[in-house]
Structure 1
C-alpha cells in the first residue's frame, strides 16, 4: 500500500503505542505490587489490555481521520497543522490523567474514573486530600510524559503524516481514507461482539491488581464520565427481584423486643444526643478493638465507661458515603453516591428529622467546607436547625489545609452547647485525621512516612476528644447526654490494605455519656453503619420503620452480618467469615475458608436490591 494510504494507520499506531507505554509506567510505578505477578501475568496485562488500548486510540483518531478524509476530497486543503495541534493538546491531558492515577491508585485502590469530579467545586479540599503524595516525583513523571510523547510524535510519526504524495488525492486514496474512518468503529467497540467493550473484557486474573493494570486509564475515565450518576437500569441483576427480596428479607427477620425490654441501657428516653463522626478512624489503631495500643487511649477509656461494638464495618470508603450510612441508615452505592443527587436525598430518612419531630434542637458542626462532595445539600434536606462550618471561625484559626483543627472545633462546640436548649441533637465531624495529616502537636510516634503521619493524626484527634469529654463532664447537661461515636470509613493504613479487604472497613462504634445506666460489656454482633440509627432509636422508643436497611445491634436475636462496597465490588461479612466479589469480572476476589457458598447469594441480593432502591429514590 502506498504511503499516503497509511496515514490513518500510522496515526492510530501512535495512540496505541501511548496506551502500551501508560501500562508499562503503571506497572513500574507500582513495582512492589507488580513484584507479586509472574512474568506470564505481566505479559497478559499487555495482551488482554490491547483491545481497550485500541478502543482508546480509535476514539482519539476520529477527528484526525475526518481531517484525512477531507484532505482527500478537497485537493487544496491541508489540515496537517490542525491534526498536529490536536495531538499536542491531547498529550498533556493524557499525561495529567495518567500522573494523577499513579498516586490515586495507592490511596483508593482503583483506577482513576469520574469520582474525583465531585470534588471540583471545592478545589482546595481536593488538593489537600492528595497533598501527602510525592508531588516532586509526580511532577517529573508528568513532564517526562509530555516531553517523551511529544518527541516520539514529532520525530517519528509527524514526518510520515506530513509527507506530500499525490496518491492522497486519487480515487483510491479517497476510498481508503473513508474506509479507515468507517472501520474505526470496530476498535471503538472493542470488536464485532454484540456488547461494546467494558472493563470486564480486559480482566483475566483472580489477582485484582493484575486486572486493574490491564485497564487503559484514559479510556476508563471517559467511560466513567459517560456513565456516572445516570445508570438507566440496575447493572447488578444477579437474580429475579423476588428472589433477591426473599434473601434480603430473611436477613432482617428477628423478633422485636418490647419497648421496655431488658436491652434498655439509658436512664431516659429523651436524652441529649451528641454524634461524633470520626474521620478515617480505623479499628486497626484502636486498642480496645485489638488494634495497635497507645494510639487512642481516650477512646479506649470511653469504651470501658460505656459500650463498645467490636465488629462494625463501614458501608464504603468515602466520607460522603459514610455520612448517609451513619445518619440515614442507607446502604452505600459502589461507583456513585446518592449524596451527589439532592433530588434523591430529599427522599431519605434522617435521624435529625426524627429527633426534630420530638422537639430536639439540632445542629451540625464541621471544620471544613460543607459544600465539599455536595454534603451541604444533604444536610439541608435533613433539616438541621443550624450548620457550622469553617466560615464561622476567625481566619486566624484556619490552621489546617482543610479548615480548623479538631481541638478548635470541639472547643467551639463545647461553648455553644452551654447555651443550647435541651433536649439537643448535635453532630460533629472531625477532619484532622484526613490527608495530609498535619496536626498542631509534636509527633507522638517517630517517622515521616504517610502511615506514621496518619497514626499521629489519629492520636491528636483522640486527645482532642478526650479533652472535650473531660470538660463536658463538668457541664449541667452531661448527666442526661448520650454520646455516639463512629467513623465515617476506615483506612488502608496501617498495613496498606487492598481496597476490598475487610480490615480496611472495620471501624469503631461506641455509646457513652452520662445518660447510660452503667458501663456494659462489649457487643460482638457483626453490624454496619446502617445499624447505628435503628439501634439508637430503639433505645429512645421511637419508630425505626423508615430505616429498613438497619437492625438493632442490642437485640440478641438479630442476624449478624455486614455489607460493604468498594469500587464496583462488595464484601459480605458473617460469623463464618468474609467473601468479597468483583462486579466487573463477576468473580470472587477472596473468601474465608468457612464461608458457605450461599453467602455469596446474600451479598448479590443485597447489592441488587439496594441499588434498585437507589434508582427508585
Structure 2
C-alpha cells in the first residue's frame, strides 16, 4: 500500500500519459502525413501539446479530486469504487471520441469539434459519411487503448492501492490544496491570457499544428462556443436579397485609381497602433499636441480622413486589417483556427510574391488565439513578448513600444528585401503604463490614456527618424493604422461613430505622391484591397474590401458593436440594435434604403462566417 499523499498528482499524471498516447496514435494513424514532418516538428508537437494535455487532464481530474476531499470529511462514501467507475467510463468515452477523430480528420482535415452537432437533425448524412470508415480497425484501436489504460489504472493508479496516513482534517487540507491547484493547469499557467489553441500552433504545415491539439480540449472549447459560431441570428430578409444588396455595395466603377508609388515592389512596413482614436489626432480634428509625429507623417504622406474600425477589439481589428474580413458582433472568427484557415492573408499574398514576412508584437501572441491566426497566415517569423528581456515589460502586457521598435529596426537592417513586416504596438492599451515622464497632467484614466498615446507617438517618431537613415527606407512603404478606436476621453456610447474613427496613413520613401488627404469613407476591411491594388498584387480573394483610391458608386463604412451595427454613408449615420430590433441612432437624411443595406451586410457577412 502507498501513501495517499501521492495519489492526486499520480492520477493527474495518468491522464497526461493517456493524452500523450492518444497523440501518438493520431500521428501513427495518419502516417502518410506524419512522414512529411521532421524530427524537430515531432518533438515540438509533443512539447507544445503538453500544455493542452495538462489543461484537459486537470478538467478530468477535478471530479475525483473533489470526491477525495469529500471522503476525508465523510469517510462512509465509497470513493474508491466511484473513482474506478468514473475513470473507466471516461476512458471508454474518450477512446471512442479518439477513433472518431482519427477517421473524421482524414475527410475533414480538422480535429473533432462541434461540427457534428450540425448533423444531429440529419442522421442519414452522418451515417453516409461514416459508411467508408474502417469500423473494425477503429473499434480495435478504441478497445485496445481502453483496455491498456484500464489495466494500467487498475495496477498502478487505482485509489484502493493507497492508504490514508494522516488525520482526516490534515488530509482534507491537502486534498483541498490539490483541488485548488488544478486551476493552474486548467488555464495553462500563471500568464495573464488563459490557454487556447494558439499554444500548439508553430508551423506553416496545418497538420503539424492540428496534431498538437488535445482533441477533447478542442471539442470542449468549440462546444462552449457552438451557438455563437453555427447559427446566424440575423435574418432581416431572404438570403438571396441580402446577397444582391451586398453585391451592389461592391459594384466597381471604372477604375480611375492613380498609382502613388515610385517603386514597383517596395518593402511594406505595416504598423498597427493600439487603440489609436481619431479624437487624439489633430490632423483628424482631434485634440492637438498628443500625436505630433503621426500628424507630421500625415502631412507628408497620404491620409485617409474618414476611416472607421470594423470592430472594437484588438483581435477583431487584426482580422479586418490583415484579411480584409468583416467583424462578428457576439464572437470573433479568430477564436476558431479552423475558420481562419479559410481566410485570405496579406502575408500569404506577399510571401507568394517573393517577400520575406515577419510579425512583431511586444505581448503574448496566445492572446485571443492570435498565434494560430498568424500561423495560418504563414509568416516566416513571429516575434512576441518572450523574445524581449523581462526588464522591458510593463506590469501587464509586455515590452514597451520603444523596445519593440528598437528590435524591428535592428532586424530590418539585416532583412532580405523586399519584406512585408507587421508591427503591433501595445503601450496605449490599459493600464496605460509608460516608461517616460507624463506629458499631460492628471490622474484620471482618460489622462493616463492620453499620455500612453503620446508615448507611442514619441516611440514611433524616434523609430521613423532612425528608419529614414537606413538604406531600405527609400524603397519602403509604411502603412499606419489603428486596430480600433476607443470610447475615451469622452466615454462615447458603444455605437457612436466617434469611438470607431481611426487614422489610416501611407508614408515612406517609396511613396511618390505626398501631402494628400483622401476623404472617401471606408472601413478597415478596405485597407488590404487598397494596398494590394497599388502594388499590382492579387486582391481578388479579399472580397469584402474596396480600393479606397478609386471612385465608388456607393461609398460606405460598416462596423459592429455588441449585438448591433452602424452603417455610414456621406453625411449619414444609422446605428441599429439587433436586440431591440430598431435604430439606436438615425441621423438626418438616413433613408430606409440605407438601413436595408446595413441589415443586408450584417446578415450576409455573419452567414459567411457561419459557413466557413
Question: TM-score if structure 2 supplies the norm length?
Answer: 0.64
Q: Is the 8 A contact 2:558 2:567 kept in 1?
A: yes
Q: Distance in 1 between matches of 2:543 and 2:529?
A: 9
Cα separation, partners in 2 of 1:307 and 1:427, compared to 1, 3 Å: same
Q: Is 1:437 the counterpart of 2:432 in the alignment? A: yes
Residue 336 (structure 1) aligned to one of 320, 323, 331: 331
3-state SS in 2 of match to 1:321: helix
Q: Could you say if the C-alpha distance between residues 238 and 559 of structure 1 is closer, same or farther in structure 2, counting changes exceeding 3 Å?
A: same
> 1:256: how far off?
4.4
Instruction: Answer yes or no: is 1:243 the counterpart of 2:238.
Output: no
Residue 276 (structure 1) aligns with: 271
> In structure 2, what is the equivalent of residue 8 of structure 1?
none
Task: Select the residue among 518, 527, 539 that pairs with 1:544.
Answer: 539
Counterpart check, 1:517 vs 2:517: no
Q: Kindly indicate whether the alpha-carbon contact (under 8 Å) linking 1:272 and 1:480 is maintained by their aligned counterparts in 2.
A: yes
Partner of 1:385: 380
Corresponding residue for 1:477?
A: 472
Asked if 1:317 is matched to 2:312, the reply is: yes
User: 2 CA distance for matches of 1:426 and 1:464?
Assistant: 18
Q: 5 Å matches for 1:102-501?
A: 124-125=191-192, 230-257=228-255, 263-501=258-496
**Structure 1 pair 358/502, CA: closer, same or farther in 2 (3 Å)?**
same
SS in 1 for 2:406: helix
Deviation at 1:246?
1.2
Q: 1:444 Cα shift?
A: 0.6
Match of 2:522 in 1: 527
Aligned mates of 1:368, 1:470 — CA distance in 2:
24
Which residue, 565, 568, 571 being the options, matches 2:566? 571
Q: Deviations over 1:44-102 (max 9, x none)?
A: xxxxxxxxxxxxxxxxxxxxxxxxxxxxxxxxxxxxxxxxxxxxxxxxxxxxxxxxxxx
Structure 2, unmatched stretches of 5+, are 1-185, 195-221
CA separation of 1:614 and 1:422: change in aligned 2, threshold 3 A: same
Query: 8 Å contact 2:257–2:551 — kept in the other structure?
Result: no
- 1:385 to 1:227, Cα distance in 2 relative to 1, 3 A: closer
Which 10-residue stretch deviates more, 403-412 or 516-525?
516-525
Render the CA deviation track for 1:232-283: whole Å, top value 9, x for unaligned: 33110110011111111111112242xxx66100002210000000001100
Task: Supply the distance in 1 between the matched residues of 2:224 and 2:263 (Cα, whole angstroms).
Answer: 52
Residues 558 and 481 of structure 1: CA distance in aligned 2, closer, same or farther (over 3 Å): farther
Range with bigger deviation, 415-424 or 535-544: 535-544
What SS does the corresponding residue of 1:458 show, helix, strand or coil?
Answer: helix
Deviation string, structure 1 residues 206-251 (Cα, Å, up to 9, x no partner): xxxxxxxxxxxxxxxxxx9966664433110110011111111111
C-alpha contact 2:229 2:331 (8 A) present in aligned 1? no
Secondary structure of residue in 2 paired with 1:330: coil
Checking the alignment, whether the CA contact within 8 Å between 1:305 and 1:518 is kept in structure 2 is no
| Cα-to-partner distance string for 1:159-206 (whole Å, 9 max, x where unaligned) | xxxxxxxxxxxxxxxxxxxxxxxxxxxxxxxxxxxxxxxxxxxxxxxx
Write out per-residue CA displacement over residues 494-523 of structure 1, whole angstroms, 9 at most, x where no aligned residue.
110011111100000010000001313210
Equivalent residue in structure 2 for 1:594, among 589, 592, 595: 589
CA distance in 1, matches of 2:230, 2:389: 46
Stretches of structure 1 that go unaligned for 5 or more consecutive residues are 1-118, 128-223
Q: CA deviation at 1:544?
A: 1.3
The answer to whether the 8 Å contact 1:229/1:336 transfers is no
Question: How many correspondences in the alignment?
Answer: 400
**Displacement, 1:124?**
4.6
- Consecutive aligned runs of 4 or more in structure 1 exceeding 6 Å deviation: none
Q: Contact 1:122–1:371 (CA<8 Å) still a contact in 2?
A: no
SS of match in other structure, 2:247: helix
Give the TM-score of the pair, scaled to structure 1.
Answer: 0.63
CA contact (8 A) 2:309 2:485 kept: yes
Q: Does 1:502 align with 2:500?
A: no
Q: How many Å separate the matches in 2 of 1:471 and 1:482?
A: 15
User: CA, structure 1 residues 465+520, in 2 after alignment: closer, same or farther (shift >3 Å)?
Assistant: same
Q: Is the alpha carbon distance of 1:329 and 1:120 closer, same or farther for their aligned partners in structure 2, counting shifts above 3 Å?
A: farther
Partners of 1:284 and 1:291 within 8 A in 2: yes
Change (3 A) 1:121 1:580: farther
Task: Tell me the CA shift for residue 595 of structure 1.
Answer: 1.1
* Cα distance change, pair 504–560 in 1 and its aligned pair in 2 (3 A): same
Once the 2 structures are TM-superposed, how far is the Cα of residue 383 of structure 1 from its aligned partner?
0.1
Alpha-carbon offset, residue 401 of structure 1: 2.0
SS at match of 2:519: strand
